[in-house]
Amino acid sequence: MTASQPAANRRPATGASAMLAVDWTRCDGHGLCAALLPGAIQVDEWGYPILDQSELATRPRSELTRAVSACPALALRRA
Amino acid sequence: MTSVLPRTAPITALPVGWIAEPQLLRGIGSADLVDYRAHRAQSVPARRLSQADLLARLDTAGLAGRGGAGFPLATKIRSVLHEGSRLTPFVVVNACEGEPASAKDTALLRFVPHQVLDGAMICADAIGAERILVAITDHEAQLAVSAAVASRPDAARFEVCPIEARFVAGEAGALVAALSVGSDGRRNTAQAVPPGRRVLPSHRGVDGRPNLLSNAETFGQVAVLVGSSPAPAAASQAATRAPSTTSPRTAARTSTGTRLLTVTGAVRSPGVLEVPDGVPLAQVAEAVGARPSQSVVIGGYHGTWLPAAMLSELTLSAAGLAGVGASPGAGAVIFVGTDTCALAELSRVVGWLAAESARQCGPCSFGLPAIAQGVASLLRATPAGPTATGQLVLSRAGTVTGRGACAHPDGAARFVRSGLAVLAEDVGLHAAYGTCRRRDQGHLALSRSAALSRSLALSEAALSEAALSAAALSAAALSRAGGGGMGMGAHR
C-alpha cells in the first residue's frame, strides 16, 4: 500500500517513553490487562485495550510484569 | 525468476505526461525502453558509485522516499550500513501499488523499467548487496520488468517477485513477510499482511537480512540523480560519518528534482504526470483539464481532503503541503468535482477502506466498519442534526489511530477526519434534507481502471446545473440554520 504516512500521526506515548506494547495481531480483547491495571489501561467499545503510557510509568514494575504474564493471548509485552 | 501471477484484471491504458522537462520518463515514446540497449543508447553509461559518493549525492539532493512516508533515503541507507549484521543486505524495490488512485510505480515499471533497475543496482553496489528483489503487483509491469531484466548483463542479480494485489500488501512489514523464504523454500506471496511486531527492514528484513527497502520511484530518482549531477565536492567526508545530524524532516524539505503524480477524479485527462517538485497545484489542474472542483484529495485514500479554495495557493512538495497538514504521500491527487456528492464519495471510500483491513487487529477490524457506518448515516436526514453522529465518528477515528500492526487505521482516520472537516456544509445539507441534490459520480475510484478512465467527462451544461442546484440548496440551509455552523468544521 501507499500507506506509510509520516510517523507524526501515530499515537504519541504522551511524553513518557512506552512502558507496555500490544501486538495487535494477537490481542483478542480478553481484558485482563485492563482489570489488572485499572486507570492505566482502559478498553475501547470493542473491548480492546487503550494504554496510557504516562500513567503506566507511575506503576510498580511488578504490576506491569503481572499484567504481561496474565495475557492469555501473549499479546502484551514490555516495550 | 520470471514467474508471473495470472492476470486478474484487463490491461488498463496508462496515460503518462509531464510538466516541464521529464527526467524519469525521458525518451518515453521514442523507443521501446524495456530493452536494455535502447535504454542505454539514450541514457548515461551505467555507473558504480562508492558508498561515500552516493550518500553525499543523496544528502545534497535531499532525496526522500516516494512511497508515502517521505523518509530520507540517505538515512535509510546509513541505517542498513550501521546494522552490523554478518549477513549481506538485500535491496528490495517496492512496487506493490495497492492504492487504486495511484499508478505511477506501475507506469515506471511498464515504460521505463531500467530507470528503476539502474537505481536499485547503484544502491546495491554501494551498500554491498548482491541480490535485488523487485516486488510487483501489476501483471503488465511484471511482464515488462521480467523482459527488462532478461535483457540486462546483470540479470542474475535481480529477482522479480509477483505479489498479490491488496491495499496493505505494500506496507514494508507485510512485504518482508511475503518475500521471505518460507519452510517450503519458496517466497510466500500469499501472506502479504503486516506482522504484529514492527521491525525495520533495514534492521531485519527479507530472509532475516538487513534490507534497503524503498519505493520503485525512489530508485528511479536515484538513477536520475546519479546520471545528471556531478559528484558534490565534499563527498567523502560527509558520507562516512554516522547518522546524519540533519533531522529527517528538514532533509526531506530540501528535496528537488521531479515527482511523479497520479492525477484522477474530475479531470479530462487522468494519468501519471512527472512534475517539478513543488509545482503549483493550479498548474497540475490546468495540465489535466481539471473540471470545477469543490475539493481535492492529496495523498490518496490515506491522505488529506483540502477545500478547493486552497487550490490556487498550494504547491506540491513536502514543504508546500506541511503548512496545511497534508503531505504528497505517494503522489495521488484526486479532484472532486462540483457535480458530485462528495459526502457519498467519502462514505463509499471509507467503506472500502474498512473492507481492505487485513482483519488482524481488533481496533481496525471493528473500528473501521463502525466509522464507515457512521459516515454512511450522515448521508440520511437527521432531525436532531448531524453533530452527535459526527462526533462519534471523529472520536472513533481518534480511537483507532496508532492501534494496529500497520498504519492502515491511522491513514483511514486521517482521511475521514479531513473529509468531514472539508465537507461540513454537505453534512449539514444531508442532515436537513437527506440529499445535496447531487449523485456520487465516482470521482474517487475504487479500481485503477476506473480511476484512469475518461468516461467521467460530463457535459459542461450538466455540470453547472448540478453545481447550481447544490448552491441553491446550500443557501436555503444556511438561512434555515441561521448562519450554518454544524459544529464539525473545526476538527482536523
Share of chain B above pLDDT 90, in %: 57
pLDDT of residue B210: 92
Residue A3 has pLDDT above 50, yes or no: no
Domain extents in chain A: 16-78
Residues whose CB is less than 8 angstroms from the CB of residue B262 and which lie 6 or more positions away in sequence, other chains included: B101, B102, B103, B104, B271, B272, B273, B331, B332, B333, B451
Give Rg (Cα) of chain A: 13
3-state SS, residue A31: coil
**Position B245 confidence tier, pLDDT thresholds 50, 70, 90:** very low
pLDDT of residue A14: 45
- A7–B96 C-beta distance less than 8 A: no
Q: Please write the tens of the pLDDT for every residue from B250-273.
A: 333 344 689 999 999 999 999 999
Where is average pLDDT lowest: B129-133, B177-181, B368-372?
B177-181
Cα–Cα distance, B372 to B208 (Å, whole number): 38
pLDDT of residue B253: 36
pLDDT of residue B163: 87
3-state SS, residue B260: strand
Residues whose CB is less than 8 angstroms from the CB of residue B245 and which lie 6 or more positions away in sequence, other chains included: none
User: Of all helices (H) and strands (E), which one includes residue B127?
Assistant: helix B113-127
CA-angle at B480, arms to B478 and B483, nearest 5°? 40
Within 8 A of B304 by CB-CB distance, chain A residues are none
Q: Which three cell numbers stand for residue B248?
A: 529527517
Q: How far from A66 is each of A27, A29, A35, B120, B219, CA to CA, in Å?
A: 17, 17, 11, 48, 47
Give Rg (Cα) of chain B: 23
Residue B472 has pLDDT above 80, yes or no: no
Choosing among 3.40.50.2300, 3.40.50.10420, 3.10.20.600, 3.30.450.20, the CATH entry for B259-480 is: 3.10.20.600
Alpha carbons within 13 A on the beta-carbon side of B157? 21
Residues whose CB is less than 8 angstroms from the CB of residue B371 and which lie 6 or more positions away in sequence, other chains included: B350, B354, B393, B396, B397, B400, B412, B413, B416
Q: Please write the tens of the pLDDT for every residue from B122-170.
A: 999 999 999 999 999 999 999 999 999 999 999 999 999 988 877 777 7
Report, as an integer, the average pLDDT of B12-21: 85
Q: Please write the tens of the pLDDT for every residue from B325-354.
A: 999 999 999 999 999 999 999 999 999 999
More confident of the two residues B4 and B178: B178
pLDDT of residue B230: 52
Q: Which three cell numbers stand for residue B124?
A: 546495491
Within 8 A of B303 by CB-CB distance, chain A residues are 5
Cα–Cα distance, B272 to B331 (Å, whole number): 9
Report, as an integer, the average pLDDT of B440-447: 94
- B414–A1 C-beta distance less than 8 A: no
Q: Residue B37 burial (CB < 10 Å; 0-12/13-18/19+)?
A: exposed
B276 phi and psi, to 5 degrees? -65, 140
Q: Please write the tens of the pLDDT for every residue from A49-71.
A: 999 999 999 999 999 999 999 99
Task: Tell me what the pLDDT averaged over chain B comes to.
Answer: 83
Q: How near does any CA of chain B get to the CA of A13, in Å?
A: 10
Q: Residue A44's closest chain B neighbor by CA?
A: B399
In DSSP terms, A50 is beta-bridged to A42
Query: Is A16-78 a domain of CATH 3.30.70.20?
Result: yes
Architecture per CATH, B16-258: 3-Layer(aba) Sandwich (3.40)
Cα–Cα distance, B399 to B413 (Å, whole number): 9
Cα–Cα distance, B412 to B304 (Å, whole number): 10
**Position B444 confidence tier, pLDDT thresholds 50, 70, 90:** very high
pLDDT of residue B190: 58
Cα–Cα distance, B152 to B144 (Å, whole number): 13
Where is average pLDDT lowest: B34-43, B142-151, B419-428?
B34-43
- A10–B67 C-beta distance less than 8 A: no
pLDDT of residue B249: 37
- A25–B360 C-beta distance less than 8 A: yes
Contact (CB, 8 A) for A19 and A79: yes
pLDDT of residue B256: 62
**Position B51 confidence tier, pLDDT thresholds 50, 70, 90:** very high
- Which among A1, A45, A47 has CB closest to B169? A1
Q: Residue A12's closest chain B neighbor by CA?
A: B402
Residue B31 has pLDDT above 80, yes or no: no
Cα–Cα distance, B38 to B41 (Å, whole number): 5
- Which among B171, B360, B414 has CB closest to A1? B171
Within 8 A of A25 by CB-CB distance, chain B residues are 194-196, 360-361, 405
DSSP secondary structure of B19-69: SS--STTTTBTTB-TTSHHHHHHTSPPP----HHHHHHHHHHHT-B-SSSS
Q: Residue A75's closest chain B neighbor by CA?
A: B196
pLDDT of residue B1: 41
**Position B178 confidence tier, pLDDT thresholds 50, 70, 90:** confident
CA-angle at B211, arms to B205 and B216, nearest 5°? 115
A-to-B residue pairs, Cβ atoms closer than 8 angstroms: 111
pLDDT of residue A70: 96
Q: Residue B194's closest chain A neighbor by CA?
A: A25
pLDDT of residue B150: 96
Residue A17 has pLDDT above 70, yes or no: yes
3-state SS, residue B294: strand
Cα–Cα distance, B401 to A24 (Å, whole number): 12
Residue B120 has pLDDT above 80, yes or no: yes
Within 8 A of A47 by CB-CB distance, chain B residues are 362
Residue B112 has pLDDT above 90, yes or no: yes
Phi/psi class of residue B248: alpha, beta or left (left: φ > 0; alpha: ψ in -120 to 50)? alpha
pLDDT of residue B70: 86
Q: Which of B6-10, B21-25, B169-173 is modeled with the greatest confidence?
A: B21-25
Alpha carbons within 13 A on the beta-carbon side of B278? 8
Contact (CB, 8 A) for B390 and B488: yes
**Position A1 confidence tier, pLDDT thresholds 50, 70, 90:** very low
Cα–Cα distance, B39 to B143 (Å, whole number): 17
Cα–Cα distance, A57 to A18 (Å, whole number): 8
**Position B481 confidence tier, pLDDT thresholds 50, 70, 90:** very low
Domain extents in chain B: 16-258, 259-480
pLDDT of residue B187: 76
Helix ranges, A28-78 (H): 32-36, 53-56, 61-70
Report, as an integer, the average pLDDT of B16-31: 87
Report, as an integer, the average pLDDT of B297-325: 92
**Position B387 confidence tier, pLDDT thresholds 50, 70, 90:** confident
